Every structure is written in structure tokens, then in C-alpha cells.
Copies of this chain bind each other. A is one copy, B any other.
Amino acid sequence: MPTYKAPVGDVMFLLSDVFHIDRYNNLPGFADATPDLLEAVLDEAAKFCEDVLTPLNRVGDKEGCKRSADGSVATPTGFKDAYKRLTDGGWIGASAPAEFGGQGLPMALTQSIGEFLCSANMAFAMYPGLTQGASAAILAHGSTDQKALYLPKLVSGQWTGTMNLTEPQCGTDLGLVRTRATPQGDGSYKITGTKIFISAGEHDLAENIVHLVLARIDGAPEGTKGISLFIVPKFLPGKDGAISARNALVCGSIEEKMGIHGNSTCVMNFDGATGWLMGEANRGLNAMFVMMNEARLGVGVQGLALSEVAYQNAAAYAKERLAGRALTGAKFKDKPADPIIVQPDVRRMLMTMRAFNEAARALVLWTALKSDIAHRSGDAKERQAADDHMGLMTPVIKGVLTDQGFANTVMAQQVFGGHGYIAEHGMEQFVRDARIAMIYEGANGIQALDLVGRKLPRDGGRALQAFFAEVSAYIKEQGADAAMAPYVKPLAQALGELQQATMWFMQNALGNPENAGAGSTDYMHLFGLVALGYMWCLIVQAAKAKAASGNGAGDLMAAKLASGRFFAERLLPGATTHLARIKAGAASTMALPAEAF
């Protein structure tokens, strides 16, 4: 049975020492969020995740969700009680505005709590995660009445939320949505159609479920410009906010899937269900896109979360499992064999995961702080710069953290040998659960295209130039510090390669966009290496300062230096191969006619 210890100390180090959260005290909600408060909140969240959610992870996987003939769905044993404790703790609304019952704490905090929840029990964490997503959408696009009606219930977790986008014939290409919305003359619509892959679509955790549904109003234009977003609750709310009549929507079946069995992934049938338009008619996709940055950041966090818990268990196993002897001679002569952690190839796997996790966590928090600035700053320029950062970094975080997060769960499973393949140790569940994060909320190939096709050129490349300028300035500034050279020099090389790749796209993709498409995934990963490499420099710098301050964190900080060095020496060199692939262009990728496949 896997164990989990939430990395509270690492989050606090990142917030306090690396990103100096105290510098943001001018933002609403930040001044109250003192280090002591943040740590207390994180400690509480950690306790809940470690003690309550972790033991339910395997239970959820084994039992799955069960649909009855009437369409109702029972969640696994223990989920209901855990959900009640989650809402009692006010965790769902930690960063929601106070006027709707939230606590207004930084989004950076909520992302860290999200990491803990997912590490402990990803299938469970999706219920509140989707509720937060629905809240964000209503906050951004709902009318005053809609906000007043729905937000307090969602923020408290009394009701949960979903996103109903996918249909059998369309996922990535939402222009193909067929679900219809027929106006009823009273401001409401009748929604009719079938949605698939609806996470948390039906369950027994909350008294109501607020479905946000993409549909096409009768007579709307074809394609993406004719899609609107609707609020379609499972139970219609009365004027007082209490639930009344059951709406005409039902879970038709639960998908049989690879993992996240504890989350009910539903086929949802809307049979003239009553819904209300949210935001402008025919502008539903725009509404979706605005809230997608936060949602995608959250999925990136899932990749990190599973990598972290898988790493923790692999490290524990490697210290315990005896086999063979160290290559330099027996380390534990009194034992029949040495623990496998003495083996360099096992270390390679552990260090790869660790060097990724710590930098990925930094990248998430850095970006979550930007999200706080983008939403809360009083300075328009600051807001714009933060929003630029969010837009640019979101596909990188979603794509790279879930690709590498999955790869790390596979690596952690490998440390267990045959014991990783059987269910007992829980390692294979991490692999199966992590796999979905590469697919949903925009498959990673779509993230790469979003980055290369949309985010790079936007506003004349403003966001990208700002990122390049920041990292270049940092490298220049640090250039004279010999102690930082082992971290900064490899970063400088990788940044140079990323800039070459960007230049190559500028020169070769205008004439043939397939040259960008064929290199987009490599570009995304190259970008991720540079961003993570930059995070390592910031971490190492902060660790040096902290160690020098002599507050007893010497060993921990020394470990940071070693992990950062591993990243620089072992992971950053991947940049060279990505660049070579990008420069190969689309010719050999596109050479074959479709019939040849």
C-alpha cells in the first residue's frame, strides 16, 4: 500500500525563499496570508490528504463507481465521508472571493493544496477540481443572478460542477458539437444531446450537480462560431436556492477506463433538459478558453502530483529492497545484499524524478502567482504581463508536466521491478491514473499547437520576448558567479537552442505551417526544459542563501544543489535533440500519402 507525505516544507521554501511571496502583499488577500498562516493551512491540508485520502486511493481504484438502473451513481466506500470533511474544511473555496463564501487566499496556495489532493487520491481530487473550474467559469461569465445563485453553493462544495464538452463525434474539434439548445421564450432553453467522458457527471457526494454544457442554439451558425455555454443543473434551483424539480438529464453509463476509477466518467444524456445561457450566445468557446488557463494549470499539477507520490514510494522501496552489491563493493556487509538505492541506475531514476518534481513545483507556483497578479493587481500593465505569462506557460505546464509526470510514474514503477506490476503496491495505479492527464483538457499535441501556433505569435510575440528577456537578463546577471556556473551555463545553452528553434519557425513556418506543426511537441518540451532549468537556478540561488543564513537547513539545501546539478547535467542536454528534430522540418514527417499508413 503506497504512502504519501505532502511536501509542505518544499512549498513553503518556494513561496518564501524562492518567490518571496511577501513582496506581493499589495495584492488583495495576500497581506493576510502570512507565512505562518500559509504553513498552517498547508499542514492541515497535508494531514487530510495523508490520513484520509491516501488510504482511499486503492479502494477507489478497486471498487470504482457503480451506476444503478435509474442512472444514479454510487462513489466508492469512504468517498462520501471524505467529501464531507473536505467541504467542512472549506478547502474548495480557499481562493474564491469572500463575497461568495471563499477565503480569498492566493491561487498559489490552492494549486499546492491541489497537488496534495491529487498525490493522495487523484480520482477523488477531480470532484472538487471540477467544481473549482465551474466556479471560475461562472465567476468570469455568469450574470449577477447566476453568480448569486450558484457560486455560494459551489464554493462551499454543497453542489459540485462539471464541464460538458465532448460528444462521440467531437473532442478536440468543438466546432462539431451537435447538442441543441431550443429557446423556451422564458429565458431558458431546452438542451438535447449526448455528452461523453464527463468527469464527475453523476455521483452521490453532493445534493446537486451544476453542468456547464456546450450546445448550439437552434439556427446558430455552423462551426465554432455557433456554440454557446449553458448552465444545466441536475436539480432545478428554486428561488430560494434550494433544489426543486429533477432536470431531464441522466447518466446513461459509466465509461470503463484505464484508471481514475474512483471518479465517475459518465455518458450524459440531455433530453430536453432546462438550461440557461451563460455569457453571450454563440460565444461559448471564448468563454471556455478564458477559464482554460487555470484548468490546464490544474491538470499540469496532476502530472506533478502523481510524479511526486510515485517518487516517494520508489525512494522508500529502493532504500528497503535488498539485491546485489554496490558496484564499488558491499556497503552493508552484515546484510545478505545491499539496498538497491546504492545502484547508479536506480539513482538515475530517482534523481530524474526528483529533479523534475522540485522544478515543476516551482514552475507551477511561479505561474500561479502570476495568475493571482493577473486577477488581483490594481496595475493594468502588471496584470497584462502576468496574463501574458499565464497564456504562454499554460500549454507548457499542461503538456510537459503531464508527459513527464506520466513517464516518472512509469520510472517509479520500474524501481519496484515485478512488484511494480502487481496491484498490491499501488505503483501501477499511479501509471494508469497519470495517463489521463496527457489526454484530457486538451491532448498534449493540442497544447503544443496552442503554444506554437497561438501563444508564440500573439501580440507580436510579446509574451515570449518577455520570457526570453527575463531569462537572458538572469543569465547575464549571474554570469560572473563561478559557483552558479554549473547551473547557469547549461541553462544558457538550452535557452540558445530554444531561441534557435524559435528563429527556425519564424523563417520556415510562415511559408509552410506544417514545419511548425511537425516540430511543435519538441518545441513544447524544449521550452519546458528551459523553464524548468530556470526554476532550478532560482532554487539553487535561494538554497545557497538559506544555507548561508545558517538556520539549520543545510542538508536540505545541499540536496537542492545536487538535484539542480543533476537536472543541468542530465536533463537539460535533451534540448539539443529537440532542436535537431525541429530543424528537420516537416518533409519526412509528411512524406507518405495517407494510404501508406
- For A258, the chain B residues whose CB sits under 8 A away are 421-423, 428, 431-432
- For A319, the chain B residues whose CB sits under 8 A away are 594, 597
Proximity string of chain A (169-181) to chain B, C-beta cutoff 8 Å, 1 when within and 0 when not: 1111101100000
Is the C-beta of A367 less than 8 angstroms from some C-beta in chain B? Answer: no
- For A439, the chain B residues whose CB sits under 8 A away are 414, 417-418, 420-421
**B345 near A520 (CB under 8 angstroms)?**
yes
In the complex, which residue of chain B has the Cβ closest to the Cβ of A337?
A: B173
- For A35, the chain B residues whose CB sits under 8 A away are none
- For A457, the chain B residues whose CB sits under 8 A away are none
Q: Which of B422, B518, B570 contacts A344 (CB 8 A)?
A: B518
In the complex, which residue of chain B has the Cβ closest to the Cβ of A572?
A: B580
Are A351 and B570 also in contact (CB < 8 A) when A341-B597, A423-B258, A435-B431 are? no
Write the nearest CB–CB distance from A308 to chain B, whole angstroms. 13
**A323 near B421 (CB under 8 angstroms)?**
no
In the complex, which residues 445-476 of chain A have their Cβ closer than 8 Å to any Cβ of chain B? 445, 448-449
Proximity string of chain A (325-362) to chain B, C-beta cutoff 8 Å, 1 when within and 0 when not: 00110000000110111111111111100100000000
Is the C-beta of A479 less than 8 angstroms from some C-beta in chain B? Answer: no
Distance, CA A521 to CA B352, complexed state (A) = 13
**A339 near B594 (CB under 8 angstroms)?**
yes
Q: Which of B318, B344, B445 contacts A590 (CB 8 A)?
A: B344
**B589 near A327 (CB under 8 angstroms)?**
no
In the complex, which residues 408-445 of chain A have their Cβ closer than 8 Å to any Cβ of chain B? 410, 413-414, 417-424, 428, 431-432, 435-436, 438-440, 443-445
Proximity string of chain A (496-525) to chain B, C-beta cutoff 8 Å, 1 when within and 0 when not: 000000000000000011101110110000
Main secondary structure of the interface of A (DSSP, over half): helix
**B256 near A346 (CB under 8 angstroms)?**
no
Distance, CA A420 to CA B341, complexed state (A) = 35
Comparing A42-50, A237-245, A295-303, A559-567, the segment that makes contact with chain B is A559-567
Q: Which of B328, B350, B445, B562 contacts A345 (CB 8 A)?
A: B445
In the complex, which residues 64-108 of chain A have their Cβ closer than 8 Å to any Cβ of chain B? none
Copies of the protein in its oligomer: 2
Are A337 and B175 also in contact (CB < 8 A) when A258-B423, A315-B597, A422-B256 are? yes
Distance, CA A593 to CA B558, complexed state (A) = 11
**A512 near B323 (CB under 8 angstroms)?**
no
Is the C-beta of A34 less than 8 angstroms from some C-beta in chain B? Answer: no
Is the C-beta of A380 less than 8 angstroms from some C-beta in chain B? Answer: no
In the complex, which residue of chain B has the Cβ closest to the Cβ of A562?
A: B591
In the complex, which residue of chain B has the Cβ closest to the Cβ of A584?
A: B569
Write the nearest CB–CB distance from A338 to chain B, whole angstroms. 9
Distance, CA A463 to CA B445, complexed state (A) = 42
- For A424, the chain B residues whose CB sits under 8 A away are 256
**A344 near B517 (CB under 8 angstroms)?**
yes
Q: What is the interface size of chain A, counting residues whose CB is below 8 A from a CB of the partner?
A: 98
Is the C-beta of A592 less than 8 angstroms from some C-beta in chain B? Answer: yes
- Most chain B C-beta atoms within 10 Å of own C-beta, residue among A257, A340, A594, A597: A597
In the complex, which residue of chain B has the Cβ closest to the Cβ of A314?
A: B597
Proximity string of chain A (6-47) to chain B, C-beta cutoff 8 Å, 1 when within and 0 when not: 000000000000000000000000000000000000000000
**A176 near B323 (CB under 8 angstroms)?**
yes
Write the nearest CB–CB distance from A168 to chain B, whole angstroms. 9
Proximity string of chain A (528-562) to chain B, C-beta cutoff 8 Å, 1 when within and 0 when not: 00000000000000000000000000010001001
Is the C-beta of A184 less than 8 angstroms from some C-beta in chain B? Answer: no
Write the nearest CB–CB distance from A63 to chain B, whole angstroms. 14
Write the nearest CB–CB distance from A484 to chain B, whole angstroms. 15
Distance, CA A197 to CA B417, complexed state (A) = 11
In the complex, which residues 571-597 of chain A have their Cβ closer than 8 Å to any Cβ of chain B? 573-574, 576-577, 580-581, 584, 586-592, 594, 596-597
**B423 near A443 (CB under 8 angstroms)?**
no
- For A351, the chain B residues whose CB sits under 8 A away are 588-589, 592
Is the C-beta of A378 less than 8 angstroms from some C-beta in chain B? Answer: no
Is the C-beta of A166 less than 8 angstroms from some C-beta in chain B? Answer: yes
Distance, CA A574 to CA B514, complexed state (A) = 22
- For A170, the chain B residues whose CB sits under 8 A away are 323
- For A318, the chain B residues whose CB sits under 8 A away are 597
Is the C-beta of A204 less than 8 angstroms from some C-beta in chain B? Answer: no
- For A587, the chain B residues whose CB sits under 8 A away are 565
Closest 9 A-B residue pairs measured CB to CB? A344-B517, A573-B580, A173-B323, A569-B584, A258-B428, A562-B591, A315-B597, A344-B518, A327-B513
